[in-house]
Amino acid sequence: MPDVVVVFEPSGLRVLVESGTTALESARQVGLYIPSDCGGRGTCGKCRITVHPIQIPTTYDLEHLTTEEIQEGIRLACKLQLHKNSRILLPRGETQIKILTTSEAKDWIIDSGLQNKFGIAIDLGTTTIVAYLLDLSNGIQIAQVESLNPQTAFGEDVISRITFASREKDGSKILQQRVVNELNQQISQLLGITRIHIDQISRIIIVGNTAMHHFLLGANTDSLGKAPYQPSISGPVRMNPQHLGIQMNAYTELYLPPNIAGFVGGDTVGFILSQRLDCVNDVVLGIDIGTNGEIVLSDKGKIYCCSAAAGPAFEGSTILHGMRGQTGAIEYLSIVDKDERPELSIIGESDPQGICGSAIVDIVAELHRIGIIDESGRMHKISKRVREDEKHGRSYLVVKKDETKEGNQIIFTQKDVRQVQLAKAAIQAGFTLLLDSIGKDVTEIDRVLLAGAFGNYIRPESAIAIGLLPKVEISKVIAVGNAAGEGAKGLLLSKKNRNLAEAIVNKIQYIELASEVRFQEVFMQSISLL
Amino acid sequence: MVQLAFSTLLFNIVDYGDRTTMNDLITAMADIDDEQVIDLIEKQLSEGREPVLILGDLKKGMDIVGQRFSDNEYFLVELVMSADVFKRAMEILEPKLLSTQKEGKSGKVVIGTVAGDVHYIGKNLVIAFLVSNGFEVFDLGEDVSPEKFVEKLKETNANVLALSGLITTTHDVMKQTIDALSEAGIRNNVRVMIGGGDIDQSVVEYTGADAFGKDAMSSVDIARKFIEELS
């Protein structure tokens, strides 16, 4: 049971966590960004925060902080375990690369006359659903709940669910019911945590990709699965939530922002809105890497976008020992000596069970850096850790049996390398063609914004090394956390933001990669690990 | 690395059924050295070598490319490049071949990406390998309706149909296409193979096809088997 309240300053965001959760993890849960180069291993000393009440310093604190700092209550967030209610002050100034909710939430225009009214913003993802409860009078987030999308039972990815909806009797009805039930649960959880009455909820916003949007509304998804991949509902939707079976008062307004295309939906609208990509005065590339990656390019406010079918490799699905980012997953990896055990960072500091997306990117980058895999992606036997596995062919030994307590062997196969090449090529071809379409070069990109969980956890240097991100200076890459959720909050707080979102969508230029003449050529070039 | 490539090459030759001796052209094709392939073809033609022998070497080179792909040495990029080099080589060679030596000896295949799908990379690879193995291939392109497939099969009298589709939603379209063959009364004369993403034996059963290809090279053996069964 999560029972420790953590309040983050200066945003005032609060979150309930289980006793023992680290400050870094708690911040991640509310979408706040604390710089942490080492990925939470206590080695880089960058994730400094101030905690109240002051806690006993860890050995990591003693190593990285001055006596003075320790007395002031500064600690390393990654090693600071929270056992009682705490206030955490995040750093200001240059080290604070991006604190999403603080900087952005303050900027949101807020409708007036909503005293004592509350609203719920929901990011309806293919895999996870996150619901936020906000005070509409001041824009402050009071609570957040997260759960798995129960539709996963009918397919991990969007396409298999579309297939289910079209093939099975009442398929789309089943998908709709499942997700509505889950939303109802989340809503009652939020009300329970906050003791806010259902009568006080006046607005609900739901953002999701086009397929999630259609499943929720019970709309026909056949056209999403076939070229030219058109949504059956594009415009914004305003309705009584009861009509979908959402347990709310009839006067509560449900709003879903418009979809951009069959594979670019309201979540991307949320991303664009939260970063105000429509009014930047530089060249910004926004990428949300998922099974279906969305790529947005803003050329001084003129927005172009496309979707790239990366497949589930970065979620660990098509990788032999791949897994989601949960306890036991190898999260980061560095190779110091090609013949020796690589340095690993494991979530939850347990015995390694598998490899999650961020480490999958690391492995390919590292193997390529030390020459075990060449530019074409071929793995060579120039290391003692590369061998022919009886079942899986040529493989790199990430973890040998005798290197763990439980005796798990974890390998990364030649085939895994190929899967990563295909996935990254899809994204790379996407941003390359977008840049091409406006005659810009990679060197002209001023910022690369990474949205979503994966973008938050990958090491930008590894992603750049394998070509998953454009070859820009590392300082230009900024993780913006759950930008879709943040956009949903903006839509919740102000009708002006809704109008703005609708106006933005009308002006976006969508590019369908599958019908681009140069797609094959660019995709093929992108497979290599140059 | 050089040594490694060389040993793989040796392995391939030894493993190769008729124990072909390598020559420059086979090696260049297998290594996908495009300039070398074109130069050698032009040189050999000018020296009066039989075009059909040159074609034979190219095919052997392509077989080695396929083998290297199966061995994980080559990947998609190399396959696409090899298909491209082979196509360019055929453009030079084709006009010089006697009509009896031209492709088509192995059989006729109608191929296309099914309606509602516009992906073509995999399909084009299958075409390259079928052509390099002597099949006459009629490519209908992408987003092809069931009627068009039926029409082309009737027109060409081909008895092998290859359907491509990348995402799972196309499996239903493959089924519809195969149903259309039955309705047109030509299902019994035509063997159907399917390929693309996420395809296995269960999809073969679902769609009513006869076989699936796990990669571009396997389409060659399947097509041969089909032709054999029908003759």
Q: What is the pLDDT of residues A476-505, one digit of tens each?
A: 999 898 899 999 999 999 999 999 999 999
Q: Report which of residues A462 and A517 the model is more confident about.
A: A462
What is the C-alpha to C-alpha distance for residues B26 and A167, in angstroms, rounded to an integer? Answer: 48
Q: Report which of residues A530 and A252 the model is more confident about.
A: A252
Nearest CA in chain B to A529: B77
pLDDT of residue A43: 76
What is the C-alpha to C-alpha distance for residues A87 and A79, in angstroms, rounded to an integer? Answer: 16
Q: At what angle do helices A266-274 and A495-507 cross, to 10 degrees?
A: 110
Query: How is A99-138 classified by DSSP, letter by letter?
Result: -HHHHHHHHS---SS-TT-EEEEEEE-SSEEEEEEEETTT
Nearest CA in chain B to A526: B77
* Cβ-defined contact of A523 to B121 (cutoff 8 Å): yes
Work out the percent of chain B whose per-residue pLDDT is above 90.
70
pLDDT of residue B14: 40
ipTM of the complex: 0.78
pLDDT of residue B20: 55
Tell me the mean pLDDT in the region A442-469.
Answer: 93
Sheet holding A329-334, edge to edge: A343-346, A329-334, A354-355
What is the C-alpha to C-alpha distance for residues A329 and A345, in angstroms, rounded to an integer? Answer: 9
pLDDT of residue B2: 37
Q: Is the pTM value of this prediction over 0.90?
A: no
pLDDT of residue B35: 94
Residue A23's Cβ-side half-sphere holds a number of Cα atoms within 13 Å equal to 29
List the single best residue of B6, B169, B214 to mutate versus A (max A Cβ within 10 A). B169
Contacts of B4 in chain A (CB under 8 A): 380-381
Beta bridge partners of A249: none
First to last CA, chain B: 46
Q: Which domains does chain B have, with CATH numbers?
A: 2-100 (1.10.1240.10), 107-230 (3.40.50.280)
- List pLDDT tens digits, range A399-412: 999 998 888 899 99
- pLDDT of B216 > 60? The answer is yes
List the single best residue of A375, A524, A527, A529 to mutate versus B (max B Cβ within 10 A). A524
Q: What's the whole-number average pLDDT of chain B?
A: 88
Confirm or reject contact between A422 and chain B (CB < 8 A): yes
- pLDDT of B131 > 70? The answer is yes
Q: Specify the range with the lowest mean pLDDT, choosing from A15-19, B14-18, B220-224.
A: B14-18
* A141: nearest Cα among A102, A98, A86, A189: A102
* Cβ-defined contact of B75 to A374 (cutoff 8 Å): no
Confirm or reject contact between A163 and chain B (CB < 8 A): yes
Contacts of A225 in chain B (CB under 8 A): 116, 167-169
A425: phi then psi, degrees, rounded to nearest 5: -65, -35
- pLDDT of A69 > 80? The answer is yes
Confidence of residue B16 (pLDDT cuts 50, 70, 90): very low
Q: Does residue A241 have a cis peptide bond before it, meaning omega lies within 30 degrees of 0?
A: no
Contacts of B119 in chain A (CB under 8 A): 514
Work out the percent of chain A whose per-residue pLDDT is above 90.
63
Contacts of B73 in chain A (CB under 8 A): 378
pLDDT of residue B1: 35
User: How many other C-beta atoms are found inside a 10 Å radius of the C-beta of residue B219?
Assistant: 29
Whether B96 and B45 have beta carbons less than 8 Å apart is answered as yes
Put simply, the chain A residues between 365 and 394 with a CB less than 8 A from any chain B CB are 374, 376-378, 380-381, 393-394
Q: Specify the range with the lowest mean pLDDT, choosing from A49-53, A101-105, A150-154, B199-203.
A: A101-105
Confirm or reject contact between A523 and chain B (CB < 8 A): yes
Contacts of B128 in chain A (CB under 8 A): none
CA A450 remoteness from chain centre: 8
Chain B residues contacting A, CB < 8 Å?
1, 4, 72-78, 80-81, 115-121, 142-143, 167-173
